[in-house]
Amino acid sequence: MKKRTKIVGKITNNVACPFCGILCDDLVIQNKKETLKILKNHCPKAISGFEKQVPESFPKIAGKKSTLEDAIDKVFLVLKKSNSPLITGLGTDVNGMRAVMHLADKTGAVLDHMHGNALTRNTLVLQDLGWIMTTMSEIKNRADLIIFAGTDAAKYQRFYERVIWNKQSMFTRQKNKLKLVYIGEKLNTKLGISPTGKKPNILNCKTEEIGEIISSLHAIITGAKLDVANVAGIKTKKLEVLAEQMKSAKYGVIIWSPADLDTPHAELTIQSFCEVVKYLTRITRFAGFSLGGDDGSTTSSNVCAWQSGYPLRVNFNKGYPDYSPHHYSTYNVLKNKEVDALMWISSFSAAIKPPRASIPSIILAKPDIKLNFNPDVFIPIATPGVDHSGQLFRTDSVVSLPLKKIRKSSYPNVDYVLNEVLKKY
């Protein structure tokens, strides 16, 4: 993208943007008297994340301004009194999550992420079937057929620029040979029109019908003849053509976003993607790619897995990690009154609100979060990659990137707050 303004002040190159899961790391950001401006490679999410002016905020105990020390003391007291806390949200970086893990072990907490439903849809498939997956650089250089299943990737603003319509690629990927397919409803398929005007193939169906379409394609690919004229409103002939394209692709990719597959038992839809990818790999090369990882969700799941052995939705109440992806959701443990204190952590976004519960609540959130209740403790926290350095995982769960400190901040890091709490034990 083009330059937006003249360069004044301190310029930082190669800034990784933590505000969505694809972690673009080519931003050029200017710091002029602690006000940030993205000079190159912006998107609306990045602009909002880096540039938005935030009014000053303070730690509060029961709605009353306090010192950070007193607020941390209060966090300790709330957790100390709790038999079974819930630590959720988990919008933080690697070190923040390390501190969360330590604190959960110490306090016997349940852990879930604000995007826990989306994470779990994928995890269930990993644990039932496994998959063949690929990463962004492979798509950029190899993919010649890309199927967007139930997502248009519009939330990931620069995804198309970076790995679909990229100008350079190493192998046979010629822009006019790249085939794009969309399956689903209410998708912005205009994004799939190539720079030369080539239109994508569109299969309109309801989100809950995507699995049926993919399974029908799978059946056709195995050589079965469908004796119906339509599947979920799509002509069987059209599916046969697509099946043939899938078989003859050199490197096909199915892209989904588990958050966009918000239907009951969406894991079965994802399973159908992974099944057909595995079958196609007998013939050619095909892979899946999951778009997500917002608010540090890929990060928190990875750190949880290496420190406990399990991905998220773990309960430490018995003194060891007890994993149950259905049971230990934020929604369930609050509904079933299985927890008696709530800690919410969200350092990337003020948009997603913490759950309201009639138990003592600790909120560690961005300074500009608007709450409609007074939690027992509120601590405004710094944003990793803006206010302090750190590390974060990209959606493919392979690449992780260093985050830079690009402005001064008076707010504490999540890991500082939690480690101070831990010291009191």
Q: Residues interacting with another protein, by CB under 8 A?
A: 13-14, 16, 25-26, 94-95, 98, 102, 105-106, 123, 126-138, 140-142, 162-163, 168-171, 250-251, 281, 284-285, 287, 301-303, 305-311, 316, 318-323, 389-391, 393, 397-402
Q: 125 or 369, CB closer to another protein? A: 125
Q: 66 or 271, CB closer to another protein? A: 271
**DSSP state, residue 295:** G
Residue 277 C-alpha from the chain's centroid: 22
Q: 289 or 411, CB closer to another protein? A: 289
User: At its nearest, how many Å lie between another protein and the CB of residue 93?
Assistant: 9
Q: 105 or 208, CB closer to another protein? A: 105
User: At its nearest, how many Å lie between another protein and the CB of residue 341?
Assistant: 19
User: At its nearest, how many Å lie between another protein and the CB of residue 308?
Assistant: 6
- Measured from the Cβ of residue 199, the count of other Cβ atoms closer than 10 Å reads 11
**DSSP state, residue 84:** S
Which three-class secondary structure state does DSSP give residue 323? Answer: strand
In this structure, the strands spanning 400-403 and 285-290 are: unpaired
Please give the Cα distance from 410 to 419 (Å, whole number).
18
User: At its nearest, how many Å lie between another protein and the CB of residue 64?
Assistant: 35
User: At its nearest, how many Å lie between another protein and the CB of residue 368?
Assistant: 27
User: At its nearest, how many Å lie between another protein and the CB of residue 66?
Assistant: 29
Q: 24 or 341, CB closer to another protein? A: 24
Q: 177 or 356, CB closer to another protein? A: 177
Please give the Cα distance from 241 to 186 (Å, whole number).
23
**DSSP state, residue 300:** H
Please give the Cα distance from 333 to 413 (Å, whole number).
27
Paired tokens of 399:
């690449």
Report the half-sphere exposure of 66 (CA within 13 A, side-chain side). Answer: 19
- Long-range contacts (CB closer than 8 Å, 24 or more residues apart) made by 359-362: 360/78, 360/81, 360/82, 362/75, 362/78, 362/79
